[in-house]
Amino acid sequence: MTISRRVFVKSGGLAMVSLGLDPLFLARAAFAATRLGAHASTGPVLVCLFQRGAVDGLNMIVPHGDRIYYDERPRIAIPARDVVNLDGYFGLHPSLAALKPLWDNKSLAIIHAAGSPDSTRSHFDAQDYMESGTPGRKATPDGWLNRYCEHDRDHLATPFRAVAFGPRLPRILAGTAPSLAIQDLQAFGLRAPEPARDRLTGAFEQLYAGAATGLLASSSQEAFEAIQLLKRVNPTQYQPAGGAVYPRGRLGTAMLQIAQLLKANVGLRVAFAEVAGWDTHVNQGASDGQLAARLADLGQALAAFAQDLGDGMRDVVVLTMSEFGRTIRENGSRGTDHGHATAMMALGGPVNGGKVLGRWPGLDPAQRFEGRDVAVTTDFRDLFGEVLASHMRATDLSAIFPGFTPDPRRFPGVVTV
């Protein structure tokens, strides 16, 4: 168990004990000073955004310079005239037009042909692997983001260090490092109208302070600290900066609340959001339609987030991911079936942007995976590993991706060094 380590990290070292002062008191005071000081505002931040259901990478980041793309998708290809051109060969789906300025200012990079070395086409297995960080191995108990938190040496002692927006903690954050699942910042805490809420919070705080032991004690204390910190954030009164308008819906709300926590300096380092609806087997549409609507939501949420944070994007990397891609050829229902590689996006100040990274295997049948899908040329662990090592200052990637030997020569080059 990690209690002892957590206490140690919180106390910022045990040197103070030798001064003969009450170590717990000092630890607490030091902890409070750290949390409330300027320290919290500096430090790298990673936001992971999972597109659950396997996004069609080829209609998201369109190889409009490739004849084969149009031959294989007579009814659902994005017409070249609609594509937002990036580099002459690739372009954005028109619904992602809001991201073009970020490409132009070099804070958006695309990693195409990324994915898992495992060949499964099961959503369930592939999501599991992408979150556990151990493709092919199902019994891994924890997720790679949690293992990062566990091995991160200089993290802050704050209940908001790792936050997932959703009804429960996702696999990617499962594990021994404390992390928070929040459905809605406005609803975090005791549910009662004021002033009853304050009384109730105070009563529970006293109950736990007086009778809880072990993990119940430390976790409840974190909970009440989080409530205190959130009071400062005042989530109901938030106004996005720079005229940013987040799209309505779960993704927009999650991105807004991540921005809010970042600006409130509560020590957020790792955030996770997810958005479903990418499993477009039927009538996926082209420039308009089902996929276009999902992409518009995604593009607007990311653009609003970047606009809202403004200079704050300096320390932030947003990484999109999806369990696999979809077939190169459209199917009989104007949709696409489960494929292999997909495209991922990296957004933020530290990103080596304005580029499509990774080796593009091409759409030629001879280059395909199992004769039908885009081949994976960037193992997702090389992409995630690079972001953790170069941006998040992880020192030991082999502990975060067990069984994998990270090699900087295989990194796609997504972070500016």
Which pair of structure tokens corresponds to residue 322?
């999806």
The DSSP secondary-structure symbol of 350 reads T
Asked whether position 221 contacts other proteins by CB under 8 A, the answer is yes
Residue 84, classed as helix, strand or coil, is strand
- What residues contact 31, with CB distance under 8 A and at least 6 apart? 10, 11, 12, 157
Number of residues that make up the chain: 417
Residues 172/145, Cβ–Cβ less than 8 Å: yes
Q: How far apart are CA 293 and CA 251, in angstroms?
A: 13
Burial class (CB in 10 A: 0-12, 13-18, 19+), 139: exposed
Q: What is the four-CA torsion angle of 278, 283, 289, 294, rounded to 10 degrees?
A: -10
| Closer CB to other proteins, 88 or 210, in the complex | 210
The helix or strand, by DSSP H or E, that contains position 272, with its residue range, turns out to be strand 270-276
Range in contact with other proteins (rule: CB under 8 A) among 47-55, 207-215, 305-313, 353-361: 207-215
Binding mask 293-322 toward other proteins (x if CB under 8 A, else -) reads x-----------------------------
Find the shortest distance in angstroms from Cβ 27 to other proteins: 10
Residues 221/10, Cβ–Cβ less than 8 Å: no
Q: How many CB atoms lie within 10 A of CB 71?
A: 12
Q: Which residues, numbered 323-342, are part of the site for other proteins (CB under 8 A)?
A: 333
Asked whether position 220 contacts other proteins by CB under 8 A, the answer is yes
Find the shortest distance in angstroms from Cβ 173 to other proteins: 10
Cα–chain center distance at 254: 11
Asked whether position 17 contacts other proteins by CB under 8 A, the answer is no
Q: How far apart are CA 350 and CA 108, in angstroms?
A: 10
| Closer CB to other proteins, 167 or 243, in the complex | 167
Q: Which residues, numbered 52-91, are part of the site for other proteins (CB under 8 A)?
A: none
The DSSP secondary-structure symbol of 135 reads T
| Closer CB to other proteins, 242 or 249, in the complex | 249
Q: How far apart are CA 101 and CA 97, in angstroms?
A: 8
Find the shortest distance in angstroms from Cβ 136 to other proteins: 9
Find the shortest distance in angstroms from Cβ 55 to other proteins: 15
Handedness of CA 207, 211, 216, 217 (dihedral sign): positive
Q: How far apart are CA 229 and CA 159, in angstroms?
A: 9
Range in contact with other proteins (rule: CB under 8 A) among 77-85, 109-117, 149-157, 275-283: 275-283
| Closer CB to other proteins, 285 or 348, in the complex | 285
Binding mask 106-145 toward other proteins (x if CB under 8 A, else -) reads ----------------x-xx-xx---x-----xxxx----
Q: Are strands 91-92 and 61-62 parallel, antiparallel or unpaired?
A: antiparallel
Beta bridge partners of 61: 92
Closest of 164, 105, 167, 175 to residue 134, by C-alpha = 175
Q: Which residues, numbered 144-203, are part of the site for other proteins (CB under 8 A)?
A: 159, 167-169, 171, 176, 178-182, 188-192, 199-200, 203
| Closer CB to other proteins, 178 or 299, in the complex | 178
Find the shortest distance in angstroms from Cβ 20 to other proteins: 17
Find the shortest distance in angstroms from Cβ 241 to other proteins: 19
Find the shortest distance in angstroms from Cβ 92 to other proteins: 21
Q: How many CB atoms lie within 10 A of CB 10?
A: 18
Q: How many CB atoms lie within 10 A of CB 263?
A: 18
| Closer CB to other proteins, 276 or 399, in the complex | 276
| Closer CB to other proteins, 128 or 152, in the complex | 128
Task: Choose, by CB under 8 A, the member of 70, 106, 204, 352 that binds other proteins.
Answer: 204
Q: How far apart are CA 81 and CA 88, in angstroms?
A: 12
Find the shortest distance in angstroms from Cβ 314 to other proteins: 23
Task: Choose, by CB under 8 A, the member of 14, 15, 32, 399 that binds other proteins.
Answer: 32
Task: Choose, by CB under 8 A, the member of 17, 97, 212, 241 that binds other proteins.
Answer: 212
Asked whether position 283 contacts other proteins by CB under 8 A, the answer is yes
Find the shortest distance in angstroms from Cβ 138 to other proteins: 6
Residues 353/102, Cβ–Cβ less than 8 Å: yes
Task: Choose, by CB under 8 A, the member of 211, 239, 364, 409 that binds other proteins.
Answer: 211
| Closer CB to other proteins, 223 or 343, in the complex | 223
Find the shortest distance in angstroms from Cβ 390 to other proteins: 30
